[in-house]
Chains A and B, each alone.
Chain A
Amino acid sequence: GAGVSQSPRYKVAKRGQDVALRCDPISGHVSLFWYQQALGQGPEFLTYFQNEAQLDKSGLPSDRFFAERPEGSVSTLKIQRTQQEDSAVYLCASSLDNYNSPLHFGNGTRLTVT
C-alpha cells in the first residue's frame, strides 16, 4: 500500500490479557517508530527501529511492553498483562531515513483495556 498500515484498528482486551499490534511501514522506509497517544494529548514516543535494530526503547513505560522488527519491515508491539492505563491509541510511523525526514503515520490501533 501507499501508506503505513496498522492492524487491528480497534482492540478490546480484558485486564491481564496479552495483545499484539502490527505495523506495516511504507516499503523501503528504514526508520520505524511507535508512539502512544492518550486522549486529548500529543503522541508520546515509545521506541525506534533502524531496519531490524531497536536503537531506542527509552519510551516504553514498563517491561510489559515489547517491540520487534525481525526482518526490518513489519513491526509488532506486544503488551503483556494489559492494565487499564494501557488504554490509548498506538501509532506507528516510518520514514525514509532518520535525518530530518518527516514521519508518516498510520491510523493507529485504539486499545481499550476493560
Chain B
Amino acid sequence: GESVGLHLPTLSVQEGDNSIINCAYSNSASDYFIWYKQESGKGPQFIIDIRSNMDKRQGQRVTVLLNKTVKHLSLQIAATQPGDSAVYFCAENRNDRGSTLGRLYFGRGTQLTVWP
C-alpha cells in the first residue's frame, strides 16, 4: 500500500504486505530528515533518519528514500505487522538562516492501519 502525504492521511494494508508512506517537503535548505512513529497515547518514537548527502538508508525492515530534486521523502516498511499500526510523521531540519539548528518541522502524519 502507498500514501500520498498530506492528501491521503490514512493507509490500510494487509499483514505481510509492504507499506510505503510518502512525504513532501518544501524547504530546499532542509538537510536532515527523520521518520517518527506515534502510537496512541505515546510520544513520537524515532524510526530512522537520513542526511541530505544520502538518497537511501536502510534499517531493520524499514528503508527511507530521499529525492532532493522533487523534495520527496518516503518510508518503506517491509512485511508490515499489526504492531506497525500507528501514525507516521516525517520531520525535517531546515538549515537556513534564522532557523534554530535542531528544530524539527513535522508534517501532518499518515495513519497506518494493518489488518490481518
Contacts and interface: CB of A to CB of B under 8 A. Distances in A.
Contacts of B11: none
Interface in B57-116: 89, 91, 93, 100-109
A99 B102 contact: yes
A55 B100 contact: yes
A100 B49 CA distance: 9
A42 B108 contact: yes
A87 B100 CA distance: 26
Nearest to A101: B102
A95 B105 CA distance: 15
Contacts of A58: 100
Interface residues of B, number: 25
Q: Max chain B CB contacts within 10 Å: which of A48, A102, A105, A106?
A: A102
Interface in A87-112: 91, 93, 95, 97-108
A93 B100 CA distance: 15
A93 B104 CA distance: 11
A67 B104 CA distance: 19
B31 A100 contact: yes
Interface of A: 4, 31, 33, 40-45, 48, 55-56, 58, 91, 93, 95, 97-108
